[in-house]
Amino acid sequence: MDQSAFAAALLDPSLPLPAGVTCARGEPDATRFSVYRNNVVASLSRALGERFPVVRRLVGDEFFNGMARAFLTVSLPRSPLIFAYGDTFPDFVAGFAPAAALPYLADTARLEANWTRAYHAADATPLPVERLLAIAPERLAGIRLLLHPAVALARSDFAIGTIWQAHQAEVVGSVIVAASESVLVTRPTFDVRVHVVPPADGVFADSVLRGETLGEAAATAFARHPDFDFGHALLGLASLGAFADSPLQGDPA
Amino acid sequence: MNAITPSTSLLPARAGLGLKPEHVGEILDTEPDVGFFEVHAENYMGDGGAPHRALGEIVARYPLSLHGVGLSIGAERPLDTAHLARLRALIDRYRPRSFSEHLAWSTHESGFLNDLLPLPYTESTLRRVADNVDQVQQAVGRQMLLENPSTYILFEDSTIHEIDFLERVAARTGCGLLLDVNNVMVSAVNHRADPFAYIDRFPVERVGEIHLAGYDETMDGAGDRLLIDAHGSPVSDDVSALYRHTIDRAGPLPTLIEWDNDVPAFPVLLAEAARAEAVLDSAKSWRDARLARRA
């Protein structure tokens, strides 16, 4: 038996059964082989549905399973760590023509992907806000803070944080989707937290998460949002758990 | 063949349950009398967070069985050494009483197929599986148990009976066996074999753990009964009878209730465990009585 032919037939129902497959009657039986086909497709679709529950609710089970099937046919998991399956699903959703009527779907998927990564991220103590407050203001600009392993940001032209929050309830109220939102995911201890941050703080957080110094990130935010409040944004990010505890420049020796 | 410490039965000969995240709080609050808990290794291969915290709390209170579903021991391609390293780290961290995997394959060049796929039983696949089991045991530094599969198809080129295949792998590598009694029933019905004869031939002295689960039933293309290994319902009456037959023959063995889909409230699982425990208890009292007569 050639496992490549077996795998190909699993993923493409139009292919004939692999050579050498039989049953106790001494003949191949397509119903039996389709049990394996169903297992692969159903288990991977279920895994995606568990990782992207809000996307699934937004489009309904039938549409979601069709989209999942289209995705898994071109993107099988790269490892047996199924909780990590779907890191590229948001990009796939963005290009999935049948979902084009829901332009916020891909960014909602990005937020959900961030949520799972945060859930499984390494444990780390968040940087206490008092440590930041102890630093002389003139030294802050040159600092790069160590990011918490769980922190992630999703920025969207749509209200993905509000959409996500609304779909945590059994009954979903109406949501005005056409409002840009930046959504920060953190996990200070074991519970994943989802926060919509102000637009200027979102620009700042995006720069900080890309590894810019606090001064560079503040300049970027200020250029886009003249009302940007550096101190408020920095303390806000720290209090939400965006940074990990570590020795800082300016700490008392 | 390097020496692997034999440790076939370090789990207690009691009923155990699969650990589900939604039950962890209730288990830690009520500390029910469960013989052991089993987890799928791959679910605990994240870097941190709630899964590891929960597992740490469980192993502080209960014996742990680690059950892999992603090694792909039957694959034509080489084992994934990064995955072996993750397994080793998990075993070193949580010190499970037992580590088990499947006689199946699930990885291919195109990716991980997330199902336990069947392989033909030939001299060539036997060599490959035994080499892989050797490699696993060396990599994780301990004995593993190899589980008999549930299958829906047969292969024309199979030349070795499944039991002989498993026994020869075990004899060559020193691995133990995990006897999934539900899988025996599923495969026997699907391939028109006698499940009781299978148990009577099985090398029970190599068995370190038993699995029980519920199956679904459908029909194949010719209208023949086709059982599906579904893990989403109580253990059926025929599998319970086969289990009693197994314990009568093998004596009390650690027995896991597998219920992975449509997971019910925890008390439902406890009731399933109690049913298995009753079978184990009667076997233990029968054994004790026999020993007392002999004394």
Pick from B150, B260, B67: nearest CA to A80: B67
Q: Does the distance separating the beta carbons of A76 and B110 come in below 8 Å? A: yes
Buried b vs exposed e over B87-106: b needs ≥16 C-beta within 10 Å?
beebbeebebbbbbbbbbbb
Alpha-carbon torsion, ordered A70, B68, A39, A93, to 10 deg: -20
pLDDT at A85: 98
Task: Give B159-175 pLDDT, tens digit per residue.
Answer: 999 999 999 999 999 99
**Is residue A12 within 8 angstroms of chain B, CB to CB?**
no
Instruction: Read off the pLDDT of each residue in A120-138 and give the average, rounded to a whole number.
Output: 93
Question: Is B169:B130 a contact under the CB 8 Å cutoff?
Answer: yes
Instruction: Read off the pLDDT of each residue in A197-203 and give the average, rounded to a whole number.
Output: 96
Phi, psi angles (nearest 5°) of residue B176 = -90, 180
What single-letter amino acid sits at B107? T
Q: Does the distance separating the beta carbons of B43 and A83 come in below 8 Å? A: yes
Residues (pLDDT < 70) of chain B are 1-9, 295
Say how far residue A14 (Cα) sits from the centre of its chain: 33
- Best residue of A76, A125, A191 to probe chain B, by most B CBs closer than 10 Å: A76
> Cα Rg for chain B, rounded, in angstroms?
19
Shortest CB distance from B46 goes to which of A3, A32, A83?
A83
pLDDT(A248) > 80: no
Task: Give B102-152 pLDDT, tens digit per residue.
Answer: 999 999 888 999 999 999 999 999 999 999 999 999 999 999 999 999 999
pLDDT at B152: 98
Buried b vs exposed e over B144-155: b needs ≥16 C-beta within 10 Å?
bbbbbbbbbbbb
Of chain A, the percentage scoring pLDDT greater than 90 comes to 90
Number of H helices, E strands in chain B: 9, 13
Higher-confidence position of A136 and B168: B168
Cβ contacts of A24 on chain B, cutoff 8 Å:
154, 190-193, 224
Regarding beta strands B111-117 and B64-67, do their DSSP bridges make them parallel or antiparallel, or are they unpaired? unpaired
Average pLDDT, chain A: 95
Cα separation, A155 vs A183, in Å, equals 6
Question: Is B184:B242 a contact under the CB 8 Å cutoff?
Answer: yes
Domain A123-253 falls under CATH 3.10.100:
no
Q: Does the distance separating the beta carbons of A120 and B47 come in below 8 Å? A: yes
Higher-confidence position of A176 and A57: A57
Cα separation, B49 vs B181, in Å, equals 35
pLDDT at B3: 45
Shortest CB distance from B48 goes to which of A28, A44, A123?
A123
Cβ contacts of B108 on chain A, cutoff 8 Å:
3-4, 7
**Domain residue spans of chain A:** 1-102, 123-253
| Residue B220: other Cβ atoms inside 10 A | 21
Phi, psi angles (nearest 5°) of residue A230 = -55, -50
Question: Is B240:B275 a contact under the CB 8 Å cutoff?
Answer: yes
Phi, psi angles (nearest 5°) of residue B120 = -70, 150
Buried b vs exposed e over B203-215: b needs ≥16 C-beta within 10 Å?
ebebbbbbbbbbb
Q: Is the dihedral of CA B138, B142, B145, B151 positive or negative?
A: negative
pLDDT at B8: 55
Task: Give A66-117 pLDDT, tens digit per residue.
Answer: 999 999 999 999 999 999 999 999 999 999 999 999 999 999 999 999 999 9
A residues 194..253 contacting B (CB < 8 A): none
Task: Give A143-194 pLDDT, tens digit per residue.
Answer: 999 999 999 999 999 999 999 999 998 888 888 888 999 999 999 999 999 9
Nearest chain B residue to A35, by CA: B152
Cα separation, B22 vs B266, in Å, equals 9
Cα separation, A47 vs B261, in Å, equals 12
pLDDT at B177: 98
All structural domains of chain B, each given as residue ranges with its CATH number in brackets, are 15-294 (3.20.20.150)
Instruction: Read off the pLDDT of each residue in A215-232 and give the average, rounded to a whole number.
Output: 97
Nearest chain B residue to A11, by CA: B113
Q: Does the distance separating the beta carbons of A190 and B154 come in below 8 Å? A: no
pLDDT at A250: 54
